[in-house]
């Protein structure tokens, strides 16, 4: 695509950001719909985040996605946030309005549930107690979506227990906090285990848990998508458990932002999934 002087611009803010396949994903949709626009990787240090967001707005960008570690900082920089972001306490999608206001939403939880329901048709979330590893912006967004869908009990496991306790206080409902040393004892009562941390990304060690203690019907999910099969997912598959990688969440969470920035509601289909997955190593060893 050759850009014009009126091209619509968006991107993804992260530190680092080289791992992100969002530019590939949005680039596919831009090409499919023949849109005069571009979606760029935008590496931004945490201490420069707020200034960078305002600069993008002033440069005429339509908005941006936000990834690790900026999602909670994005919430703070917004002039307005919708119910999803307010519930999650974090923002992953920014829209720059014509009047200069910065609007934020969070599509992580919605994207995770869409991928989960696609992978496990007929799943009764009201009968699916969950354990979430991590207590950051992604954990809060996914937890809010699960609770709204009827999850009967949800436990945050985090190395800093106080952070997990703060999430519980903010969300309310059937939630609890635990330290990492308590994780193994939670597994027998867990039907959905979700890694919401960056552990396992690009060859870093995955969470090491005794998955043999999970029930046979449990589902193990990992929001990391580089590689497609993390150490946690490989261990779960070896145990005979159902698994869900991070790519479906990535694909589904991207739709609302693309619609807001580029004016088209794109489709998540097999062709898109194959295209994005084609640039992601299957395992850390293949990277």
Helices (runs of H) and strands (runs of E) counted in the chain: 12, 12
Helix locations, 206-281, DSSP H: 231-238, 247-253, 255-262, 270-277
Residues comprising the chain, all counted: 287
| The Cα angle at residue 9 between residues 198 and 106, in degrees rounded to 5 | 40
Active site amino acids = 71
Q: Return the SS3 of 178.
A: strand
Helix locations, 120-197, DSSP H: 137-148, 161-171, 183-186
How many angstroms separate the CA atoms of 176 and 179, rounded?
A: 11
How many angstroms separate the CA atoms of 257 and 250, rounded?
A: 12
The structure tokens 């989960």 sit at 116
Helices 137-148 and 161-171 meet at what angle, rounded to 10? Answer: 40
DSSP state of 159: S
């Amino acid at each position: 695509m050759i850009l014009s002087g009126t091209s619509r611009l968006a991107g993804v803010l992260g530190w680092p950001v080289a791992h992100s396949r969002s530019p590939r994903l949005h680039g596919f949709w831009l090409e499919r719909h023949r849109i005069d626009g571009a979606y760029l990787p935008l590496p931004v240090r945490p201490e420069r985040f707020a200034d960078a967001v305002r600069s993008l707005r002033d440069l005429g960008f339509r908005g941006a996605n936000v990834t690790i570690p900026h999602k909670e900082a994005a919430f703070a920089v917004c002039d307005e946030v919708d119910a999803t972001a307010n519930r999650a306490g974090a923002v992953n999608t920014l829209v720059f309005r014509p009047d200069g206001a910065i609007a934020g939403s969070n599509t992580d939880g919605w994207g995770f549930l869409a991928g989960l329901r696609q992978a496990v048709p007929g799943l009764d979330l009201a009968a699916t107690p969950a354990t979430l590893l991590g207590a950051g912006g992604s954990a809060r967004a996914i937890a809010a979506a699960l609770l709204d869908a009827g999850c009967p009990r949800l436990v945050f496991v985090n190395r800093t227990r106080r952070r997990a306790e703060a999430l519980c206080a903010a969300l309310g409902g059937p939630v609890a906090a635990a330290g990492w040393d308590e994780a193994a004892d939670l597994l027998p009562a867990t039907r959905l285990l979700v890694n919401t941390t960056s552990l396992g990304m690009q060859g870093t060690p995955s969470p090491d848990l005794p998955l043999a203690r999970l029930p046979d019907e449990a589902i193990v999910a990992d929001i990391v998508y580089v590689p497609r099969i993390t150490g946690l997912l490989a261990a779960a598959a070896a145990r005979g458990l159902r698994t869900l990688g991070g790519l479906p969440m990535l694909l589904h969470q991207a739709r609302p932002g693309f619609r807001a920035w580029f004016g088209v509601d794109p489709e998540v289909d097999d062709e898109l999934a194959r295209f994005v997955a084609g640039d992601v190593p299957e395992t850390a060893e293949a990277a």
